[in-house]
Structure 1
């Protein structure tokens, strides 16, 4: 059983075809890169998988179950969770409270329980806080748990976005440009974090424009161009593919 499957996936917006009959499978436990030039269909694919856009035709399956047509929170509840290039935080909240908010899918208390502060509600909130602290320690932000999110540096805001996603207890993460806007030190920190997440058993698929990151981090890479899969293989196979070099890497192929 594959972790994620797209079969003959089509996405059209009016007269524009963003994805044209895409077939793609992701194996359990791998780090899969998704690359391609601007407008290739990468973010559209993530939006389709996470339920933000309805698909035009085809099918998307997660761990053997069709998720096409499900709402975003229903897909996330099944274990497929995505992040966004531009992180949206509760900036006036602490780092800890932001991660606790990410645990809403698994909240066990009711409206009246929250209002009346019942014992069950207090126990659930204590458990949510413990889990949030564990996640922050895991990603390396435990020492700033009580810092206001708005005061974080860009790299730490991106890592906090991943911490919020982990609070939803995913089995697969879709990471949208996790290293975007980072300096070299921040990128190295993010790469190490992605590897640690995969080592816990979580499958990862990421969009990333930094080819050094993609080639050094991913087990396999899928290359899109005009909504089509033009290559799929190991970093070495993709690097050597002349169609990829022409469509995407071009004169910058040596960077990889």
Structure 2
């Protein structure tokens, strides 16, 4: 078994996506992870047919599913109105503009799982969004994770991607937080604990995890390693190890849909 634990969060709507994610790991990188710890929001899925060491955290927190919320900064789920109108090709309706308390908690509760897993097990943690598809073996990633405090793909500069938003203005670097590792040492655990405390106090704000990540990391001297884009590729290049279904990609892009259907 591997020397890293994988964590993720899912609600019932995204069960088809996490099944594809897990099956892609089983097919292409079965020995990479010691445990896969999944926070299941409001339901108890059956993963018994998947040959991985899966631990479920059944989280039945009372949460509204009514989509009537914007972020504190007035941000929509999608960058533009047209993004929210794209038709899904995988049978799951794409998010449009507003979000629910459940959606926000499903996103933000990952900090609880990361923190608890670092505290409980003496192993590094990799967090991944469940719209990820693993196309190759991830074992080469383990050395990067062990040698650095945090591993993550650096994102485009603020000026290139946040059309008018003030949410992350002033940050020197941005990261793609949907695939990010945390080493298991005192510095990192202290960082994650503070980050988690801030996010959970504001869990109804769907981008709280991102906002407070930068607030806290700027206060800590952590080694952040910039992973190669092949470990989280939103452009879906064929030679990449990991594809990310960021935004509406997972619902609409023909390349993603074709790869997704391999593991359904």
Instruction: Please give the TM-score of this superposition, normalised by the length of structure 1.
Output: 0.25
The structure in which a higher percent of residues are strand is 1
> Bigger relative contact order, structure 1 or 2, given CA contacts below 8 A and separation 6+?
1
The structure in which a higher percent of residues are helix is 1
